Structure 1
Amino acid sequence: MLPLSPAPAWAVAGAARVRPGDAAWPSAARWQQLGEQVGGRLIRVQSPLVACRSEPASAACAQLFKAVKNPYFIGDDVALTQTLGWVDAWTSMPSAYAVAARHTSDVVAAVNFAREHRLRLVVKGGGHSYQGTSSAPDSLLVWTRAMNAITLHEAFVAEGCAGQAAPQRAVTVEAGAMWSQVYDAVTTQAGGYVQGGGCMTVGVAGLVQSGGFGSFSKRYGLASGSLLQAEVVTADGQVRIANACTNPELFWGLKGGGGGSLGVVIRLTLRVHELPEDFGAVNFNIKATSPAAFRRLIGRVLDFCSQALIDPHWGEQIRFRRDNTVQVSMVFQGLTRSEAVAVWQPLRDALAREPGDFVVDSSPLSIVSTSARDFWAPTLVKRVLGFIRRDERPGAPRTNVFWPGDQGQAGQVLHGFESAWLPAALLQPNRRDALGDALFAATRHWPVALHFNKGLAGAPAEAIAAARDTAMNPAVLDAFALAILGTQGQPGYPGVAGREPDVALARQQAQALGRAMAELRRLVPDAGAYVSESNYFQPDWQRAFWGANYPRLQAAKRRYDPDGLFFVHHGVGSEDWSADGFSPRT
């Protein structure tokens, strides 16, 4: 555990937040005044999921549970979150009120109101928090969904940095925008590249504040590494510009310090990179015919990874499954399709020579490529072939698209989740067998996915340097991959008869997942974890998420939010509060 500074004086004094029914809860007249101040955009929030408890068999509830498999439907409802909960951890519950912000002044009004009335404050853009940080009952929600303007710049210089930084191509994005909208504006329409999230329905602001990995991070680094400037409403209600020259510690903390701990981000300006000619994907399965053959297969794959995949060309994941299958789901950039085929051919040829032990999927679509400019465009061919899906609601914007593989997250109820950065040293010849043994042992309990784009070993020096200048755990710099283990159930909600989460199954699967992760931790006992994709019950989370950077983050927190207005689970400074964020710890 890292040494932490003492709790602030206000926490010791016992300034608890207020809830509905408390004497200090704002009067109806005060809420009305706030509503007028924000132009009528104050909403009394009611969850359709809670309403289903009284009529679980109704047609409306059946339609609702079908609709929550559409990530854009969820995002458009102030009361919903992309994940509906985590068994034994949290359940998506609506705020008491929400400000549907459209302007900076709306955010300022909400922050001031929450501070003055000692309210629990929550911020939601994309709502993609596995930790439940964009949801809290009895709170005031700042909902930034409607703040989604995107502006391109050909020669951007951050405020106060004139003469210190060269003008560069950039894009300014408001906090509520989804990555699908940004990719359309920057790549499809303008032919540039911005490092964002792999999942297109993730919100821009949350991803950047949590560090931010995308499919091509092995080439372009962290999304936070491309951040040039942020506009933030801090706890005192002030609108601050944060960049390398102005409020530099706030700027550094926003680059990977976790979403929602230092202020409400309302605009971000990100570097636009040069777009390569092509992007491509590799998708196929390898089935081993016995456990012994599977252990040898893991070794073959690790050998191949060390020789061919730890460089800027490759991203996404390889999954090692309990059924003795290796599932390859990779992407590439900077290569033609024929060059990508040549990279994988030696492994495929070697496995084909042992048909008694390995069965290799030989689909003609196992390796494909497309114009990089069209990668996120919902072309007819991609839709017909099932490579991309779109929001089918009448009148939905054309940019409402998503990868089919991400639809499983929409409305999910998590049972368990773990992540760990694996250092590139594990791929050295003298340690590769130990890694193979750990992966094999883990898969006897639960599948393991290695996300190569979520570790920066093999990335260009420029991307490494930019990532080093963020608040992220430095373990990411020399990690070849992030190991992820997850388990979830279909949409469900406590108290809705016939649709309640399967608690017994969830606990059983969480225990199996924990046993699998224990096998990896024997190999890397002090592995760091990615804050956005981590265990809700992560022990020693300050070290796991931020390593030696945590004391510096604490200092930024005390400077810009001395009274702890901004609280999220396992966020900077959250150790000063009760688990629900309402009572200071004494």
Structure 2
Amino acid sequence: MLRPRLLFLLALLQVFHATAISGSSCRCLYGDPCWPSQSKFDKLSAQVSQPLLFPTPAAQACYTSPDSAECTEAVAQWGNGNWRANHTGAMQSPNFETFTFSNGTIEGCYLNTTLGLPCGRGSVSVIAVDARSVSDVQAAVNFAAVYNLRLAIKNTGHDYLGRSDGRGSFMLWTHNMKNITVHPSFTPAGAPTNESYEYAITLEAGVQWHEAYSAANDAGRVLVGGASGGGSVGAAGGWIQGGGHSALSASFGLGVDNVLEISVVTSNGSYLVTNAYQHPDLFWALRGGGGGTYAVATSVTYRTRPSFPVIGAFLSASINTSSLTPNAALSAAFTELVRITPQLTDQGWGGYSMFKPSNSSVSFVIRYVVPDSSPESAAQANATMSAYLTHVQELAANATQAGDSTVVQSAYTASFASWWDWYVPLFSTGESVGFNVELGSWLLPRDVVESDHEHVAETLVNIPAISWYLVCGGAASNVSADAAGINPAWRKAVVHVVGATTWSDGATLEEINAAREILKSDTAKMRALAPESGAYYNEASPYEPNPAQAFFGSHYNKLRAIKAVYDPINLFVVTEGVGSDEWDDSLTCRK
């Protein structure tokens, strides 16, 4: 116990020393005189289980060795989330690998080498600890604290705010912490012996959802978790610390409602097991108060449920259009979906629907699921959804008769023996990353949707690439707003609405900013529907006018106070995170 405390004191001395020399409290970046010497990194290397890593941009091989197997692999796997997660220098969205200088110049390393631009490091971290154990994490955290380094914590790089890297930073890479433990009976540390949970599952920091789901399914259990192509999102890091929405949230609550215990390493190197009985304040903050802010999560223990049959709902419709917005038939289909959303979430329906513009067409896709837990409730849920899908088909048929080009490729419900059987065909493969993207989102309360669904639909349907996610409401609303650190807006929300903007590699800052202005405008329209609500921190705009309120709501001050207790040296600072407003835009120097 003495060693972490000693290193913590050394870290404080280092911060005070840097302040005395520079006159300001700034992080030490690569290239600065304060950057640790090679001998100091050698000492760190001797303390950890793996050689230190030197992250490089994912496309670098195509510049240094264009005919190499590494370049061929990069081209083939560029949109594969699991490949990108395995690459220390890759973010899931490559725009977050770039860096923009004050003169507007953008440094990056684009896969498209024909642009004639050099391959630069951009925001990719300089050196990394490949953590495989708690002691590795402690060594990395202590090193960053002692030398006052800008610390980036990364598992997969699934991050729409760019919190997993940073120009000139030192990275803690948790991706290879892959242990999974299924407990036939689990009692949280410090809990009464009669409090136990059957088949809880403990996931180390690097476990991804495809690995977690497979392990749970092998045990005949189901987890409340996230969905992405290939299941590449991390299951025990930023997802849960941001709140964690799921297609099962309407039935079983959000991710934060299904956590039993979180183990962490704090900025003084201490290893803590947090739950309702030990460090409950930190446990509260870690459940929705934002990743990379309070401590480094080394493992998370979730409750599970016995496997159950489900009903899936599927819709695929499209129109040919040059406006990138739906026509009257699809607009009417979306309006009806908005109207029945509160009923759907009450029945336990969850999942994902979106309008996706592509070239000269717009598609409308639904992928929903509901537990088939009892014959009566399942029949009611199936009847509601089947009636809606029939309505969409009728709208399309009428549009076709009127000379429109609306086409419904599929619209049906189907029974599955298990949630796993629904999930695998939809999400076990797929490429949904590897392109430049920024998001804007908003949580719409139930009363707003119920009181004026037509206005909600009319506002949103004219936003290209709008997504309507049924990942809240239902059981997620039947939890006290103060039960966890997550934004209280989640407890009133019935739907999570997401918009996006994209741009091509090599775009100028002026072109990118033009795309951002559209996103800002679209997000403002969402926000105006329910100004007192909030946004999902993990899928949100980096341009929220009041990020503290949007992402954390009335919990912000309590979260800031908890951070002060467990991270008094402010080692953990991320974009728009709690306490980040006390730093400059680069998160390098205190204001």
TM norm structure 2? 0.82
CA contact (8 A) 1:294 1:324 kept: no
SS at match of 1:14: coil
Which range moved further: 140-149 or 315-324? 315-324
Q: Shift of residue 478 of structure 1?
A: 1.4
Query: Any stretches of 5+ residues in structure 2 without a counterpart?
Result: 1-14, 101-105, 109-121
Counterpart in the other structure of 1:488: 502
Which range moved further: 467-476 or 56-65? 56-65
Distance 1:28 1:287 in 2: 60
- Selected match of 1:301 from 306, 330, 337: 337
Counterpart in the other structure of 1:375: 421
User: Compared with structure 1, are the counterparts of its residues 365 and 321 closer, same or farther at alpha carbon in structure 2 (3 Å cutoff)?
Assistant: closer
1:284 corresponds to 2:316 = yes
Counterpart in the other structure of 1:449: 467
Amino acid at match of 1:41: P
Counterpart in the other structure of 2:12: none
Note the alpha carbon deviations across 1:54-76, whole angstroms, 9 max, x for none. Answer: 67798854642332222121111
Counterpart in the other structure of 1:437: 458
Counterpart in the other structure of 1:523: 529
Query: Any stretches of 5+ residues in structure 1 without a counterpart?
Result: 1-8, 389-401, 493-499
Q: Shift of residue 192 of structure 1?
A: 0.9
Counterpart in the other structure of 2:75: 65
Amino acid at match of 1:529: A
Counterpart in the other structure of 2:222: 193
CA contact (8 A) 1:319 1:448 kept: yes
SS at match of 1:207: helix
Q: Shift of residue 274 of structure 1?
A: 2.9
Amino acid at match of 1:223: G
1:28 corresponds to 2:35 = no
1:558 corresponds to 2:564 = yes
User: Compared with structure 1, are the counterparts of its residues 14 and 164 closer, same or farther at alpha carbon in structure 2 (3 Å cutoff)?
Assistant: farther
Distance 1:27 1:525 in 2: 50
User: Compared with structure 1, are the counterparts of its residues 432 and 288 closer, same or farther at alpha carbon in structure 2 (3 Å cutoff)?
Assistant: farther
User: Compared with structure 1, are the counterparts of its residues 352 and 167 closer, same or farther at alpha carbon in structure 2 (3 Å cutoff)?
Assistant: closer
CA contact (8 A) 1:184 1:377 kept: no
SS at match of 1:408: coil
Bigger relative contact order, structure 1 or 2, given CA contacts below 8 A and separation 6+? 1
Counterpart in the other structure of 1:217: 249
Counterpart in the other structure of 1:395: none
Aligned pairs (5 A) from 1:216-295: 216-285=248-317, 291-292=327-328, 295=331
CA contact (8 A) 1:279 1:375 kept: no
User: Compared with structure 1, are the counterparts of its residues 47 and 552 closer, same or farther at alpha carbon in structure 2 (3 Å cutoff)?
Assistant: same
Q: Shift of residue 422 of structure 1?
A: 0.5
Amino acid at match of 1:203: G
Q: Shift of residue 250 of structure 1?
A: 0.8
1:131 corresponds to 2:158 = no
1:175 corresponds to 2:189 = no
User: Compared with structure 1, are the counterparts of its residues 217 and 228 closer, same or farther at alpha carbon in structure 2 (3 Å cutoff)?
Assistant: same
Counterpart in the other structure of 1:423: 445
User: Compared with structure 1, are the counterparts of its residues 29 and 368 closer, same or farther at alpha carbon in structure 2 (3 Å cutoff)?
Assistant: same
Distance 2:204 2:171 in 1: 17
Distance 1:240 1:403 in 2: 36
Which range moved further: 518-527 or 203-212? 518-527
CA contact (8 A) 1:279 1:369 kept: yes
Counterpart in the other structure of 1:458: 474
TM norm structure 1? 0.83
- Selected match of 1:469 from 463, 483, 503: 483
Note the alpha carbon deviations across 1:103-130, whole angstroms, 9 max, x for none. Answer: 1111111111111111111111121011
User: Compared with structure 1, are the counterparts of its residues 279 and 488 closer, same or farther at alpha carbon in structure 2 (3 Å cutoff)?
Assistant: farther
Note the alpha carbon deviations across 1:519-569, whole angstroms, 9 max, x for none. Answer: 333322333011000011222101000100000100011001111111111
Which range moved further: 334-343 or 573-582? 334-343
Counterpart in the other structure of 2:148: 118
Counterpart in the other structure of 1:497: none
- Selected match of 1:140 from 170, 189, 207: 170
What fraction of aligned residue pairs are identical, expressed as a percent?
27
SS at match of 2:474: coil
Counterpart in the other structure of 2:352: 317
Amino acid at match of 1:304: I
Q: Shift of residue 460 of structure 1?
A: 6.5
Note the alpha carbon deviations across 1:299-320, whole angstroms, 9 max, x for none. Answer: 33333334x4122421123335
Which range moved further: 94-103 or 518-527? 518-527
Amino acid at match of 2:523: M
User: Compared with structure 1, are the counterparts of its residues 239 and 53 closer, same or farther at alpha carbon in structure 2 (3 Å cutoff)?
Assistant: same
- Selected match of 1:538 from 541, 544, 563: 544
Which range moved further: 339-348 or 573-582? 339-348
User: Compared with structure 1, are the counterparts of its residues 300 and 331 closer, same or farther at alpha carbon in structure 2 (3 Å cutoff)?
Assistant: closer
Q: Shift of residue 437 of structure 1?
A: 3.1
Distance 2:295 2:199 in 1: 26
Amino acid at match of 2:32: D
Counterpart in the other structure of 2:88: 78
User: Compared with structure 1, are the counterparts of its residues 28 and 349 closer, same or farther at alpha carbon in structure 2 (3 Å cutoff)?
Assistant: closer
Amino acid at match of 2:474: G
Cα root mean square deviation, aligned: 3.1
- Selected match of 1:346 from 365, 384, 387: 387
CA contact (8 A) 2:182 2:201 kept: yes
Counterpart in the other structure of 1:202: 233
Q: Shift of residue 581 of structure 1?
A: 2.1
Counterpart in the other structure of 2:112: none
SS at match of 1:465: coil
CA contact (8 A) 2:47 2:139 kept: yes
SS at match of 1:35: helix
Counterpart in the other structure of 1:570: 576
Distance 1:304 1:288 in 2: 27
Distance 1:345 1:567 in 2: 47
Distance 2:140 2:480 in 1: 33
User: Compared with structure 1, are the counterparts of its residues 23 and 516 closer, same or farther at alpha carbon in structure 2 (3 Å cutoff)?
Assistant: closer
Note the alpha carbon deviations across 1:202-223, whole angstroms, 9 max, x for none. Answer: 1112211111012211111111
Which range moved further: 175-184 or 39-48? 39-48
